[in-house]
Structure 1
Amino acid sequence: MFEWLEEGISEFIINTFSSMFTNFSSVYNTAIMSPSAFNKEIWDAVVSFNKNAVLPIAWSILSLFLLLELASLFKRADVKGMECIYWICQILLKIMFSKIIMENMTVIIDAIFEISAEIVSNSSFTISELGNISASEMGDALSKCSTLTLMGYFITSMILSFGAGIARILAEVIVKLRFIEIYVFTGVAAIPFATLASQEYGVIGKNFIKRMCALALHVIFIVLVLYMYGLLMKGSMPTIDASNPMNALYEGFGYTILAVIALFQTGSWSKSLIGV
């Protein structure tokens, strides 16, 4: 009598379980994009901002460091003759090196993220390789349930679907916040690069490069977390049984929350590994 209702509820429950996997597949596809591919308009804007607004300031800072380094050199009583020329040449080389880095910061930053992209592409796996989760077993188990039982499962599935939707949004926010951080750091990259010429403040530029390397490494951790999530979701299918077909849904929701928690941690993992 209520076959149409039972079929609709069963289809909703199955779609809820399957969407937990497919929704995170889109998060994966976003995570592996390069900063320029994710939003080329923003990338071009921050590069232009760095070139037109920040680079002139960085040149001034670099000139100041040149004067400070020379002043510090001339104060040393033990520097005379050819040794003085040697130290002056060394200072000028540091200034030239910093200037080259400042003016080619886009190439350097792109190279850092290209390395991480190459690592991801050479890993020879994507979350799509895990395939669409087949829910035929769940459908068979649900077909043996009564209408009243299915109504209870339907309410539970709605709650879990809402929670999984929030988890997916949080995962997308984590991934996209990484891109925002990259754009902000790129927009002011010339200033920390200018400090490389200073013996005292050079640590600022070194920490900046380490931070960019950590952001590049961040995507590798994100990809690993999402891939393991896909494996766990696929592995939850055998837990389906006729007595309680919702076990797989509960387990899948638990893995989804676990994946979001792990994604929150990936940033600190990459920073601690690089030593930022």
Structure 2
Amino acid sequence: MFDGIFEAIEEWMRELLTGMVTSNLTEMFSDVNEKTGEIAAQVGQTPQGWNGSIFSLIQNLSNSVIVPIAGMIITFVLCYELISMLTEKNSMHEIDTWMFFKYFFKMWVAVYLVSNTFTIAMAVFDVGQHVVSAAGGAINAQTAINIDTMIEAMETAMESMEIGELVVLALETMLVSLCMKIMSVLITVLLYGRMIEIYLYTSVAPIPFATFSNREWGQVGNNYFRGLLALGFQGFFMMVCVGIYAVLVSTIQISDNMHSALFGVAAYTVILCFSLMKTSGLSKAVFNAH
């Protein structure tokens, strides 16, 4: 009689622990799939497409607050350019018509750039979106973890486990699931932080664009434009990170060692999060932006 009771208790505990492990794994892998899919969706968004309300706010602030300051900078830069142009020609003794034609052309370019700042800045992100979308077409199909296959392999492996090992596995899945949730929050912070940085960066765009017409002050505008390119192409580096993550996860074999496979998925997700944090510095280094 006692043997039957113990067997029933053991079976009940086995079902309880197996259900706990399966639930934790399903939730964990679902979170991973959701976040990798979110990365692909978020980095492919342009500033106006990500949040139209924020974009309109930034554009209005830029036009009403920053453009007047950019106009003052253009005036200063053009005056400085005119004085430099006149004095460098043997103290105004070698003045010709071509000099003034070139000066008025620079003036027109300066005003045109400031007047169309947002159009030019968004064109950079449109190019970045095209690159990300092209990369996403090759990567998206491989990023998702096949949850059904993973769970099926886990359940098969758990059938041969003792109660003590199932308890350890349940505790491990709870710990790893908690860590994965923390990683998910960090990934969300990185994605939203990048978009907020883009909005902040573009909000003052007219000021550096106003310096392009001068050789000396133009370094401000050149560096700013390199920064725009870096932000635009950071999304491509993020997609490459997701692609690498997908390849690493696909090599995990559940049937060999369930414990190492479990922590392997967690380790690869930590690596993904760390790699995403490095994309900003890498993109700026590639475009020599600082």
Following superposition, the deviation at residue 18 of structure 1 comes to: 1.8
Aligned counterpart, 2:275: 262
Q: Partner letter of residue 26 of structure 2?
A: N
**TM-score with structure 2 setting the length:** 0.87
Q: Which stretch shows the higher mean deviation, 122-131 or 112-121? A: 122-131
Q: Distance in 1 between matches of 2:143 and 2:276?
A: 20
Gaps of at least 5 residues in structure 2 are 1-10
Change (3 A) 1:74 1:173: same
- Answer with 1 or 2: which has the greater Rg: 2
Aligned counterpart, 1:213: 229
Gaps of at least 5 residues in structure 1 are none
Superposed CA deviations along residues 174-226 of structure 1, whole A, max 9, x for unmatched, are 12111111101111100000011222211000111000000011000001101
Alignment partner of 1:66 out of 74, 78, 81? 78
Change (3 A) 1:143 1:17: farther
Q: Distance in 2 between matches of 1:256 and 1:240?
A: 20
Aligned residues: 273
Following superposition, the deviation at residue 163 of structure 1 comes to: 1.1
Following superposition, the deviation at residue 72 of structure 1 comes to: 2.0
Moved over 3 A (4+): 79-84, 128-132
Q: Partner letter of residue 32 of structure 2?
A: F
| Aligned partners of 1:10 and 1:139 also within 8 Å | no
> Secondary structure, in 3 states, of the residue corresponding to 1:137?
helix
Identity rate of aligned residues, in percent? 22
Aligned counterpart, 1:204: 220
> Secondary structure, in 3 states, of the residue corresponding to 1:268?
helix
Aligned counterpart, 1:195: 211
Q: Which stretch shows the higher mean deviation, 130-139 or 159-168? A: 130-139
Alignment partner of 1:117 out of 129, 140, 149? 129
Aligned counterpart, 1:6: 17
Asked whether 1:75 is paired with 2:87, we answer yes
Asked whether 1:127 is paired with 2:140, we answer yes
Note the aligned Cα RMSD (angstroms): 1.9
Q: Distance in 2 between matches of 1:142 and 1:169?
A: 30
Q: Partner letter of residue 197 of structure 2?
A: E
Q: Distance in 1 between matches of 2:117 and 2:232?
A: 15
Aligned counterpart, 1:57: 69
> Secondary structure, in 3 states, of the residue corresponding to 2:96?
helix
Q: Partner letter of residue 98 of structure 1?
A: A
Alignment partner of 2:263 out of 223, 235, 250? 250
Q: Distance in 2 between matches of 1:158 and 1:6?
A: 11
Alignment partner of 1:185 out of 180, 201, 206? 201
> Secondary structure, in 3 states, of the residue corresponding to 1:78?
coil
Following superposition, the deviation at residue 64 of structure 1 comes to: 1.4
Q: Partner letter of residue 155 of structure 1?
A: L
Following superposition, the deviation at residue 7 of structure 1 comes to: 3.3
> Secondary structure, in 3 states, of the residue corresponding to 1:196?
coil
Following superposition, the deviation at residue 20 of structure 1 comes to: 5.4
Following superposition, the deviation at residue 19 of structure 1 comes to: 3.2
Aligned counterpart, 1:149: 165
Q: Distance in 2 between matches of 1:156 and 1:16?
A: 14
| Aligned partners of 2:37 and 2:143 also within 8 Å | no
| Aligned partners of 2:62 and 2:206 also within 8 Å | yes
Alignment partner of 1:92 out of 104, 107, 116? 104
Q: Which stretch shows the higher mean deviation, 140-149 or 9-18? A: 9-18
**TM-score with structure 1 setting the length:** 0.92
Q: Distance in 2 between matches of 1:40 and 1:91?
A: 39
Q: Partner letter of residue 138 of structure 2?
A: F
Change (3 A) 1:146 1:17: farther
| Aligned partners of 2:73 and 2:210 also within 8 Å | yes
